[in-house]
């Protein structure tokens, strides 16, 4: 598993082993978005498109890098036993504004299929708590996406 992550970062994104942890955060964010798309027990094409758009917009990756990032995030997500490994990276390395933007991305994926299920709402609430996003920002992110 770690070999694949190292290979992805070194080959696909031309990142050296001791580089800025920002690229690891891309993987964590992608894994959280993928986990959210599974929260309501169905994967909609609209949600997949929203994930791709959010990652491309936030991280400025090429289509090839995006595909590799999503594949690796899918694999990491399936092997993960909890959200902790992803949320800890985000909590420890993202600024308050970046955490807010991540929660906005989660809401964008949740609403992509036209409805926000109670499972999606619960998971976003849980992630927001784990990354220490204040409840007021959680609500502000939701309203920003719904009104857009």
Whole-Å CA distances, 60 to 4, 13, 93, 95: 21, 11, 19, 18
Q: Which residues of the chain have pLDDT under 70?
A: 1-21
Per-residue pLDDT of 62-81, as tens digits, reads 899 999 999 999 998 888 88
Q: Which domains does the chain have, with CATH numbers?
A: 2-11+23-147 (1.10.3680.10)
Mean pLDDT of the chain: 86
């Amino acid at each position: 598993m770690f070999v694949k992550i190292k290979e992805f970062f070194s080959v696909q994104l031309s990142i050296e082993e001791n580089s800025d942890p920002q690229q690891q955060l891309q993987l964590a964010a992608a894994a959280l978005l993928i986990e959210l798309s599974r929260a309501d027990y169905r994967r909609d094409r609209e949600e997949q498109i929203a994930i791709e758009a959010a990652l491309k917009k936030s991280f400025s990756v090429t289509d090839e890098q995006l595909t590799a990032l999503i594949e690796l995030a899918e694999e990491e997500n399936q092997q993960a036993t909890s959200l902790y490994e992803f949320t800890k990276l985000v909590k420890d390395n993202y600024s308050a504004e970046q955490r807010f933007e991540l929660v906005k991305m989660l809401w964008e994926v949740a609403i992509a299929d036209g409805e926000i299920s109670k499972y999606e709402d619960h998971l976003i609430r849980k992630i927001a708590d784990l990354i220490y996003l204040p409840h007021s920002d959680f609500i502000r992110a939701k309203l920003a996406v719904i009104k857009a």
